[in-house]
Amino acid sequence: MKGIGKTLLLIGATSDIGRATALIYAEAGWDVLLAGRNRSAVQREADDISARTGANVLVHELDILTTSRFEDFVGVVSPLPDTAVCVVGELGEQSRAERELEHAAMIMRTNFEGPALLLGLLAERFAARGSGTIVGISSVAGDRGRASNYVYGAAKAGLTAFLSGLRNRLSGSGVRVLTVKPGFVRTRMTNTMKLPPLLTAEPREVAQRIFAVAEGGRGGDVVYVRPIWRPLMTVIRSIPEPIFKRLRL
């Protein structure tokens, strides 16, 4: 399907989910703009996607922690995309974040500050045009703070709240704001973890769900990639605090 005339901006292009998402859009005939901090690595992804699909794939260099460059970046992205998907994330190490302020700050800035500020700028451009879709990848870890990953979870909770507020403010503007919570995903970031198969998605599964919700309108504004996560997190959120403290999840 060529000549569809739509453009995706994918932020976090060298991640497993990012690559899978860009490929899904390219296969559907979209032009793709890939953004990531390592230009040569992003270019390799662009060349591979273009070779596989024949899509027009362009590359932008962007570090999600260099927020001072965001306004310039948004100003030069051309064409202004129809859909922007931010898959940037960094799990980090909870135990290290408890000891090292810089590591905790990196986790918080990578998962909340950078994505929120960048998506906010893009949303303003979309609102001025009167159309567009913003997709932020959050996490079930943000649904309730847990001892095992509360620094990462707090950052994702912040992103979830930001996207909720942005969605509320832009309601009726022609701009859609979606929050996607993949749950466990089999990626390089989780390759040392033992993951429960029922709760674990593959990167392409996440990408397909993003495309279906963002472009097909199926799934609502807040999407759990595997539906089982919604009732599971509802139960976890409802556990009384005195009991929850003893669980050490």
Residue 224 annotated among the catalytic residues of the structure: no
- Return d(Cα 249, Cα 247) in angstroms, integer: 6
Pull the structure tokens for residue 238. Answer: 């409802």
Q: Output the DSSP codes for 176-242.
A: EEEEEE--EE-SGGGTTS---GGGEE-HHHHHHHHHHHHHH--S-SEEESSTTHHHHHHHHHHS-HH
Active-site hit among 25, 150, 152, 224: 152
- Return d(Cα 213, Cα 196) in angstroms, integer: 25
List, in sequence order, every residue forming a beta bridge with 177; answer none if it has no partner. 134
Distances (CA, A) of 90 to 1, 28, 105: 34, 29, 11
Q: What one-letter code names the amino acid at 235? A: V
- Return d(Cα 24, Cα 135) in angstroms, integer: 15
What are the residue numbers of the active site? 152
